[in-house]
Amino acid sequence: MDTLHALMKGPLPSLFFCIGNPVVGNPTQYMMEEAFLDMDFPGQYITCEVESDQLQTALEGLKALHVAGGNVTAPFKQQVFPYLDSFTESARLSNAVNCITLQSDGTYQGDNTDGKGFLQSLKEQVSNLRERRVVLFGSGGAASAIVVELVLAEVKEVVLVNRTREKAEALAERLQGVTNTKISTQAWEGTYQIEEDGLVVVQATSVGLFDENSCIDVAFSQGLRDVIACDVVFNPTDTAFLKRARQAGAATLDGLGMLVNQGVLGIENWTGRDADAEVMRSALAEAFSL
């Protein structure tokens, strides 16, 4: 009855979205709607698969519907910039947007909560980040967001490893001098060997998403001490990359924490209210078990 009352007399529920391609299998909608229910917040979330040549049209349509906010996933995190009005520091530095929020003046702001969500998960396992050297694979939207937050957190050094070295060098140049963090790049030719103790190793590509057997071309030396291997892939949660790292003695951090934390931050942007991270993580666990 309350829902019917709202539909007939208003106000209408706030509308949120996720756009990407592909988006089949993306669990964000279920996670967000469960959070809204727990908060008793009148929000509805839709997931939309958009063709690359229709991105501008899709965003203009969403704006016409006065959506309150939304999420952007691959391959559009760097393509949405021309269609937004303002950007947070995280979005500008990473050159990637994963969260869009309607502002009080009717404009749309792009933010990047991916890196913030990752850093929050990492801090739960690593207390001495400023003393750590980080090796990160990838240079796309998620990788860029994570590097930005690592630099802002002033880790000792970030080494960017990418098949297309020019992309890694462009990212390193953009962030050079933002803090005291040293940023360097390495060519990724053949199998990349992890041999150094004390590293934080981040798999920030989409390799392994929805494929439990796929893994980037990396090998971990046996007997590693105090190494933590992190994967941004959230489905499966225990990826081939994490299994390979664990077999060598490294600690591991899956992509669920990052996904949950970025979602919590997104809801805070949209509503000004806190969401329950445990409710959202449980929703993901339920979605993945179906």
Q: Residue 144 sits in a domain of what CATH number?
A: 3.40.50.720
CB 155 within 8 A of CB 182: no
Per-residue pLDDT of 259-280, as tens digits, reads 999 999 999 999 999 999 999 9
Tell me the C-alpha distance between 11 and 51, whole Å. 32
Tell me the C-alpha distance between 155 and 136, whole Å. 13
Average pLDDT over residues 29-34: 96
**pLDDT score at 1:** 46
Residues 106 and 153 in one domain: no
Split at pLDDT 50, 70, 90, the class of 6 is low
Helix (H) or strand (E) run with residue 229 in it: strand 228-231
Residues 249 and 126 in one domain: yes
CB 147 within 8 A of CB 94: yes
Residues 224 and 284 in one domain: no
Residues 246 and 120 in one domain: yes
Q: pLDDT averaged over the chain?
A: 94
Phi, psi of 68 (to 5 degrees): -85, -15
The residue segments making up the domain with residue 119 are 115-254
Per-residue pLDDT of 209-265, as tens digits, reads 889 999 999 999 999 989 999 999 988 899 999 999 999 999 999 999 999 999 999
Task: State the CATH number of the domain containing residue 49.
Answer: 3.40.50.10860
Per-residue pLDDT of 131-152, as tens digits, reads 999 999 998 888 999 999 999 9
Residues 245 and 283 in one domain: no
Residues 88 and 155 in one domain: no
Residues 169 and 84 in one domain: no
Residues 138 and 201 in one domain: yes
Average pLDDT over residues 178-204: 95
**Number of domains composing the chain:** 2
**pLDDT score at 198:** 95
Burial of 210 (0-12, 13-18, 19+ CB in 10 A): middle
**pTM higher than the cut 0.85:** yes
Phi, psi of 80 (to 5 degrees): -85, -10
Residues 119 and 237 in one domain: yes
How many Cβ atoms sit within 10 Å of the Cβ of residue 223?
Answer: 8
Q: Active-site residues: which are they?
A: 77
